[in-house]
Amino acid sequence: MVMQSLSLRLKTIVGIALIEIATLSVLVTITLCYLYETNYEGMEQRVSSTLDLYSTAITNPVLSSDLATLHDYTETLLKNKGVKYVAVLNNSGTILAEGGDYPSRFTPGMLEENSKAVTDSIYDVSHRIEEAGVTFGTIWIGFSMADIKSTIATAAKWAVIIVVLDILFVAIFSYILGTMLTKRLETLSAATAQISHGDFDIQLPLKGNDEVSKLTHAFNQMIMQLKSTTEQNFRYQSQLQEMNSSLEEKVKARTSQFLTVNQQLSTANEELIATQHQLIESEKMASLGIMASGFAHEINNPAGVISGNLSVCQSYIELYKERFKRQQALIDQHIDSQYTQSLNQWLKLNDFNFIDADILDSIKDSIKCVERIHSIVTALQYYSNERNNSRDGIEPIDIYPSLDRAISQTYKDESIELLLSPELRALPRILGIPNELDRLLTEVLQNAFQACQQKPQDTSSVAISSRVIEKHIILSIKDTGPGLSEANVKHLFDPFYTTLPVGEGMGLGLTYAYDIIKHLKGKIEINNWESGAEVILTLPTS
């Protein structure tokens, strides 16, 4: 719900930032793990080679009790970086040679299994001095772990700095991209609002040759056509009004025949005004169809990239979760709990259980938002294509089968009572296309059932009745919903206008119904009655 309420610009920034954070998190984790493993493996190799070389070098001095030589070798080894202490003991535990900050006692409990198990920053190791299978003493060496830990800490610090700088760069780039994408759309939106107030003195500047520029060009042409049509109709109205005034002065001295002519002119005036409104509405719908086609192509590309990357990130995270799960199992199996205590505390401190669940939820939410964008774009494309497609296959059709199919598709809530009048089965045929009539009745019934659900009560109902008047079928659909406000009535047939909560409807249902009823040469009216709203469809018979 939060993502749906954001602007297109902010959605672009948030979507790209989430992808970048997920990607960098994976890369940083892999890099630090590799650095961690490489340094500790290098320490193990260094310890092994040092023990082998040193034991080989001092075997003869130990056997010959050459303490001076033994002391020289010990001092030489201590000069190596990272060696904290060296001690050579005979079988009775007497120190033959020592150097550095060595411990007061040498016991097996001091020894660590490997360099990863070190907790006191000194890696204590020992090696027996053997010759021909006989042990003559023991070498004890302490290696400092400070350099390795410092290297890893420095790498982690730089990784964090790089991640922060990269996220900042992506945020700036996303903001610039979002601004470029929405700036011209905001200009079009402002121009549309200006037109809705009757101001046609607008000429939008053309920049570039992309889809938005083509849309702007089509918008300018629409404005010119609307302005020309409005001026022409205004002249017609002025002329008719002048003629009407002139006739009113002559009517007083003329016969009833002139009264009839005057009435005919008034009727023509009303029809002309109605035609004007219909023409403006048609021009507006056509313009919106062009806009829909342009928006669909412009938005589909980045939305598709975002959706694909989010799905890939989702699968990668699942793999890394499985990898860490297996690593944890190996740690629990091969490392004593006293050595993993600090790791477990760190995991608990950073609430990794919550992170494991939340990161996938976040990506799923992002995917849902992209899917919502895709559904809106699909609706835009469908609306544009439906208005441009030719309508063939007009034939005499019965209303009741289409009504029955529409009820089957929309009547899902049995708590709403459905009332059908008997005369619906005996209605005369109309000229039309079965699929269009199905769509018309489906959209109107869907609105009626949704209205009842918006106003829960003990007895909600939808009543459908009909009558035939002068070769016209009058179909009435009444609901017991909350009814319509005066402000809503003015915009019922506008594309994407809906009174439903965000995410539950796109506001195209009554727009489709309006287009279809006009194609059938009929009329649609929506009014309030004492218990809700009533939709009246007037259809000519065949």
pLDDT digits (tens, 9 = 90+) for 56-81: 888 888 888 888 888 888 888 888 88
Is the Cβ–Cβ distance between 430 and 542 less than 8 Å?
A: yes
Q: How confident is the model at residue 467 (pLDDT cuts 50, 70, 90)?
A: very high
Residues contacting residue 103 through CB under 8 Å, at least 6 positions apart: 85, 110, 124, 142
Lowest mean pLDDT among 26-40, 95-109, 504-518: 504-518
Region 214-220: mean pLDDT is 77
State residue 524's pLDDT score: 87
For residue range 307-332, list pLDDT tens digits in order: 777 787 878 778 877 777 787 778 77
Residues contacting residue 412 through CB under 8 Å, at least 6 positions apart: 449
Average pLDDT, the chain: 78
Predicted model pTM = 0.39
Most confident of 29-43, 145-159, 188-202, 429-443: 429-443
46: left (phi over 0), alpha (psi -120 to 50) or beta: alpha
With residue 89 as reference, give the H or E element that holds it: strand 83-90
Most confident of 76-85, 106-115, 359-368: 76-85
Residues contacting residue 283 through CB under 8 Å, at least 6 positions apart: 222, 225, 226, 229
Cα separation values, 318 from 324, 329, 357, 381, 536, Å: 10, 17, 11, 35, 55
Residue predicted with more confidence, 495 or 250: 250
Q: Which amino acid is at 486?
A: E
State residue 381's pLDDT score: 62
Q: Quick one: what percent of the chain has pLDDT higher than 90? A: 4
Tokens 């179909």, located at residue: 475
State residue 390's pLDDT score: 54
State residue 264's pLDDT score: 80
